[in-house]
Every structure is written in structure tokens, then in C-alpha cells.
Amino acid sequence: MKKGLLIITLILIIKSSFGQQFTDIYGDYFRQTSPGDIPVLFAPGIISGTTLEHSAAIFSSDRNEVYWVSRENQESLLKIWRMLRINNRWTKPEIFNPLGDSINHFDPFLTANGEKIYFGADKGNTDIWFVEKQGVNWSKPQRLMPSINTIDGQCQASLTTDGTLYYLDHRTINENWTCDILKSRFKNGEYLNPDTLPEYKLNYFYGLDTIYCP
């Protein structure tokens, strides 16, 4: 039994490594020391580069996957990038765009168990989508249900361990751009009608990227 499990594990490692291009970077912090009290630029030249970064880097709970959003210039589309750590060595950055390279992707969120990635995409309207891990691959993108994705724009999803969804809902009212943080509980396989958190109403001049730490 143990021998069989070892063979399966080795096959998965070989399969996940096949075709990957690796960097010479090892460890948790991309050649940097562990975080301290003074903010420093994270992974300069790797994640924080000369491009326009559009989201914070997000890591899987085992710190073996990292995702972030960047665009090469003001004119190019927003793209999700990722790096994987295999045998403690990081792969080269690669584009991870579930809906294809002709659509803006932004605000990725990896669930605590690493099984789903939620992200925003501009496919005619700004909506929240997700993909689910299937072995070493990912499922086809699925758009969240209409109780979440309305005619307004939705983005910046984050989830608690019990499935509660927090996200941003933004619209224009009387020519003024406004944004609310909404909360939706997951019950019987679907998201309930969301509640607004009025104490956290945002406007154009406030920062976004609101993430709930599960």
C-alpha cells in the first residue's frame, strides 16, 4: 500500500514538473528576508517590476503558489500571473487567464484549501468568476450566480472558511462613482441575497482590494 502511494506521489510530481521552466529562486520570500515592521518592495524584478501591478500577490496556504495581476503598460490588458514552487524551487512567471488573453482578468483570490480561484473579469460586464482545481489542471471558468453578479459591476471576491462571500459592488449614481462591500452567505448550494456593510462604503478616492482573512 505504501509503495503504491509513493509511486502515485512520484507520478504527480513528475507530471506537475513536466514542461515547467524554473528560475534559480528558492524558499518562501524570493531571496528576501522574512517580513518585518518596515514595508519594503516585495520581490522586485520578479513580481514587483516595471509594469503596472493591479493587485497584491496572493499565496496558497502552503506557500507553493503565488498569483498576482499586472499589465505591461497602460494600454495592455490586465492579466493574472502565477508562479509555482516545486521541490522548493520557483517556476518562471506564466500567464493564468482562464477566460483567454483577450479579456481583462483581475483580483484573484485563492481559497484556504487551494481548491478554487475566484477572480474578476470584464466580459461585457465586470463579474466574479471562479475555477476549481481538478488534479493538476483547472476546470472551465464558471460565472457566479445572478444573486451576486448583477447589472452593476462586481469584483474583489474573498471567502471565509464557511463559504461566506465578501465582495465589492460598484456603480455610478448621479455621475458619482460609488462602491459598497457586500456579504453573502452560502446555504444549500447557493449564495443568498447579499447584505451591504454600510460602515464600509467607498468612493473613487479610497483604496479598494478589500480582502477578508479566513
Q: What's the chain's length in residues?
A: 214
Read off the C-alpha cell for 170.
460598484
Inside any domain, residue 8: no
Inside any domain, residue 15: no
Summarize pLDDT for 179-204 with one digit per residue, the tens: 788 899 999 989 999 998 876 555 54
Inside any domain, residue 66: yes
Inside any domain, residue 7: no
Is pLDDT larger for residue 52 or for residue 137?
Answer: 137
Inside any domain, residue 117: yes
d(CA 32, CA 20): 23
Inside any domain, residue 67: yes
Inside any domain, residue 16: no
Summarize pLDDT for 119-167 with one digit per residue, the tens: 999 887 889 999 999 988 999 999 999 889 887 788 889 999 899 999 9
Percent of the chain with pLDDT over 90: 37
- What was the pLDDT predicted at 90? 96
Domain ranges, residue 186:
22-31+42-203
Inside any domain, residue 1: no
d(CA 74, CA 173): 27
Look up the pTM and report it: 0.81
The number of distinct structural domains making up the chain is: 1
CATH (domain of 61)? 2.40.128
pLDDT exceeds 80 at position 214 = no
Are the beta carbons of 178 and 152 closer than 8 angstroms? no
